[in-house]
Structure 1
């Protein structure tokens, strides 16, 4: 879907909803995953990009593992902060769920890269 086609579609819909195919096309065209991430979050699932085995190496794996630890650190720091009063509000729960999904995505990506690098 070109930018002009997207603009035409936005004009035609005038506030109506996009189809799933159109949302997927937008994500592919612009390299974003907002819609699919939200769908997965609502379903309690996690998605991640499967790495290209020809483009991965131990340096990338190391960087992904550091990123994974950083994401988990952010999650647990927020959890610790939110539990300080002994009660989790709905807003705090939403933040924790988003951080959890982000952490799980990072973990899954690091594992997929490790598999791709070390498979026979």
Structure 2
């Protein structure tokens, strides 16, 4: 069900909706795309089609759905165009510390009554996902600044 929701959301995110998405990814019609999304008569959206939909919609919805289905969290890595230095690394560390403090506050509030409800769990997961993303960003920036340089001068 999560995958279908991702497919539908990618169509909504694409200008022109499902009809335009179908044309953009080479499907003959929106009906053909819908048949795959709703698995009519055993049809399915193939991974390469889902990736094409994701690229066309300029989202990460398919990757996020796959991560959730796999019991994980999708973390988008930053696209780094500008020069990066130690100040940027310090900023990333500060964001991690700040979010860790936020997690501690949310956690304390959530378990104060000895019970964790769905809203409290969602709040904890949201802060945790932010921390995961910040750690991955820190690593990406660190590799960019200090990683082994390739022949063309770029990081790894």
TM-score by length of 1: 0.68
CA distance in 1, matches of 2:22, 2:121: 36
Counterpart mapping for 1:33-72 below 5 A: 33-50=60-77, 55-58=82-85, 59-72=87-100
Q: Where is the helix percentage greater, Structure 1 or Structure 2?
A: 1
Asked if the contact 1:46/1:105 (under 8 Å) is kept, the reply is no
Give the number of equivalent residue pairs: 119
CA deviations on 1:38-90 (whole Å, 9 max, x unpaired) are 32133233443455676450243333333333433333322122111111124
CA RMSD of aligned residues (A): 3.2
- List gaps (5 residues or longer) in structure 1: none
Asked if the contact 2:75/2:132 (under 8 Å) is kept, the reply is no
CA distance in 2, matches of 1:38, 1:95: 19
TM-score by length of 2: 0.56
CA distance in 2, matches of 1:74, 1:116: 28
Larger of the two Rg values belongs to structure: 2
- List gaps (5 residues or longer) in structure 2: 1-13, 38-44, 149-156
If asked which structure has higher relative contact order (CA below 8 Å, sep 6+), I would say: 1
Shift of 1:16: 4.5
Match of 2:141 among 92, 102, 113: 113
